[in-house]
Amino acid sequence: MIEANNPALSSWVEVPEHSDFPIQNLPFGIFKTESLSPRVGVRIGNHVVDLKTLFVLGYLENLPFELADFDTNFLNSLMKKGKQGTRALRNRVSKLLSSTQPDLQKNEHHVEQVLISVDQVTMCMPVQIGDYTDFYSSKEHATNVGMMFRDPANALLPNWLWIPVGYHGRASSVILSGESIYRPKGQIKPDPAADPIYAPCRNLDFELETAFITYDGKPLGESISTTEAEDFIFGMVLFNDWSARDIQTWEYVPLGPFLAKNFASSISAWIVTLDALEPFKTATPQQDPKVLSYLEFEGKKSYDIHLEVAIKPKESPENIVSRSNFKYMYWNMAQQLAHHTVNGCNIRCGDLMGSGTISGPTDDSYGSMLELAWKGTKPIPMNDGTERKFIQDYDTVIMRGHASTGTIRIGFGEVVTEVLPAK
């Protein structure tokens, strides 16, 4: 067992009941305050641990880190130390916060310097993303889309059950939770019999996803196997990969997503390490036909993570519109990374890999409005008496996720984004 995962651990830092951030989580992020420059922090309960100050005070000695790894705008420098480095760091922080360890706890002056209330911090983009790839790995989602737009009897394209389909996205427009987006504009074709028009998107959609963030991979020309893959994954975030469905319908043939996807993708602020999620591993759904050799894997490679999506109209209560689970994904992260690198593609520290829309087997577990409202034919009622086929201006979309054993809850917090009218 990884030391920091011990379910018997408790902390001298107060952690509210049902918090996403017990001592067994300790996710990493970048924060700042009115008086502190951006730096690395770890979340516990309703507090952030300032790792820069913790390092300066001498609590992180004999670890493979320097001050610059914590006094930084991004986690990339810290992640350059690899899985063993970040694991040792998380274990050390866990030990310092444990109720059985007096070293930090007994020094009130130090505690005052390193422990900051979350209501005093502003979260920053956690990583400098070099490249972003989005997969298409939910069989339920791919089947639903295929039924809507192609032959319902042959919903999946011939390659779907053989390869983890993906495309290269736009890293520059990945934004942090809390940042609003503007409704995108582009070419749409509302009348199939007429020419396309230039207009604001009319069918704006969310996509319920997670994403994983990588350590440095192997050199160009080498591949990462499914056995090795998790050693190259730092952690996971919640991910809302916004989609302009009407722009997408017109543009995606023959090369796939472009303007329909590159205007914004929203991520949560705290990166939950793959180490912290270790207790929640579960079996991947049965894959048929049998996968090719480089996609074969042993053991549990999927994760049981509960997910939900809420829509909050302006000045109205939120409405939960979807409850899903990451465990439904047909292709797991190890297979995605193995496929991404099988041709020798080099993965770099801070690369972002979207899971693809996460849809479950029931109509209340679908991961997009396209499916939930079934292409606009089944509008979703809101608490304020309105209804939604797609996302409207001034709607806020909120995604949450957590894994739970019943006693230990490892959560991601939220990814929250408001939609503003087109400029």
Longest CA–CA separation in the chain, Å: 75
* 8, 72 Cβ separation under 8 angstroms: no
d(CA 407, CA 18): 9
The reply to whether 141 belongs to the active site is: yes
| Separation in Å, CA 159 to CA 142, 155, 209, 254, 329 | 12, 12, 22, 16, 17
Helix (H, G, I), strand (E, B) or coil at 159: coil
Q: Any idea what DSSP says for residue 356?
A: -
Distance of CA 127 to the CA centre of its chain: 12
Task: Tell me if 42 sits within 8 A of 55, measured CB to CB.
Answer: no
Catalytic residue among 47, 141, 339, 402: 141
> CA distances (Å), 216 to each of 279, 304, 336, 351, 352, in order?
24, 26, 16, 9, 12
Task: Give ∠ CA 114-45-325 in degrees, rounded to 5.
Answer: 135
The sign of the dihedral angle between the CA atoms of 360, 361, 364, 368 is positive
Query: What residues are annotated to the active site?
Result: 141
